[in-house]
Chains A and B, each alone.
Chain A
Amino acid sequence: MSAHFTKEEILDFVCGEIADADKKQEIEEHIKSCAQCAAVEKEYRAVTDAANTLSVDFSEDIWKMQRDSIIRRLRKTESVFDKIRVFAAGLFEIKKIGVAFLLVLFIGAGATVYKHNKTLARDKAITEKMEFFENMEIIERLEFYEKVAEEVIDS
């Protein structure tokens, strides 16, 4: 037979506080063969068994009655501050949705503006190119007429 366990160890065993499975089994086995430790365990068990008799229960109707009473008292004592707090909490939720909506709106608007600016820049470049070609044409024509005029004068 192994050495006796301390009262503290037996109490831990009775209270389910021994995590080590081997030690738990060791105490269990020891108690089976040791009258002294078994007596200590029995005394502690008697206390925990007696504690189990303290558990009180009611029918669901009674529990519900208590819940209703608590909620009634909470409603009665709800201060203006509480109402504002709940309202603010609700607003905060709405605010969160609002912020998300604004964010989407902002991103959408940003993308549209960017696209619009890009189109404007492209149009501007085309216009500039067209103006350049038109000017070139005018210059070429002027040079042509100048040449013709010079030829007429010469002849």
Chain B
Amino acid sequence: MERDDREIIKEIKQGKESATDELIRKYQKKVYNMAYGLALDYDKAWDVTQEVFIKVIRNISSFRGDSSFWTYLYRIAINTFYDYKRKEKVRGRVGNFSDIGDEDDNRQFEVKDVINIEEDFEKKDLREKILKGLENLTDIQKEVFILKNTQGFKIREIGKILKISEGTVKSHLNRAMEKLKTMLGGEAS
């Protein structure tokens, strides 16, 4: 049975490493999928996920428990993604400096090579289309769409994470759905 977040966090604050592992295990897949939806790249999503947990654990003492932990985690995940994007832009301008990258993560593989995917042609085609469609969304539209459709959050919860009103969430979701609907084109027909 999964333990309550507050209980795990209390142990992390006491320096218990097994609790850190437990917290990461609990949210790792969700954060990775969220990062993938935003970055649209397996390797970048991997790096962002690592950064998110490092930030969360390092600053766990500042988590007072006023809001639920997942709200806090997703907020950090979104901010980390944009930080990563900014760093990447700088890297693009100044050259490929390893200090911006993840030099401590010595993974010896390409993330795309180790994914568990068993999909037919139709599914693959659909995935490619939606990925292309996501590229055409604004950042906020993408965030709302991913939080709603891949993380399964309610509009009220998305509003809390992004600190915007429910009406604004609905409006962004609506626009995102309309754009993607057009992009997917013949799929529904």
Given contacts A8-B170, A54-B37, contact A74 B127 (CB under 8 A): no
A89 adjacent to B14 (CB under 8 Å): yes
Q: Is the CB of B15 within 8 A of A70?
A: no
Assign chain B's interface to a size class. 35 or more
17 A-B pairs besides A51-B149, A59-B114, A70-B57 with CB distance below 8 A are A7-B174, A11-B173, A17-B154, A50-B187, A54-B36, A54-B37, A54-B131, A56-B36, A58-B116, A66-B28, A69-B50, A70-B53, A71-B21, A73-B105, A74-B58, A89-B15, A93-B14
Q: Is A135 an interface residue (CB 8 A)?
A: no
0/1 string, A63-102, CB within 8 A of B gives 1: 1011101111110110000100110011001000000000
CB-CB nearest in chain A for B57: A74
Decide yes or no: A70 and B24 within 8 Å by CB, A46-B181, A46-B187, A51-B130 being known contacts.
yes
Q: Interface size (A, Cβ < 8 Å)?
A: 43
B78 within 8 A of A: no
Which residue of chain A has its CB nearest to the CB of B21?
Answer: A67
Q: Residues of A at under 8 Å CB distance from B?
A: 7-8, 11, 15, 17, 39, 42-59, 62-63, 65-67, 69-74, 76-77, 82, 85-86, 89-90, 93
Residues of A within 8 A of B50 (CB): 66, 69-70, 73
Give the residues in chain A near B129, CB-CB below 8 Å: 50
Query: Least Cβ distance of B108 to chain A in Å?
Result: 10
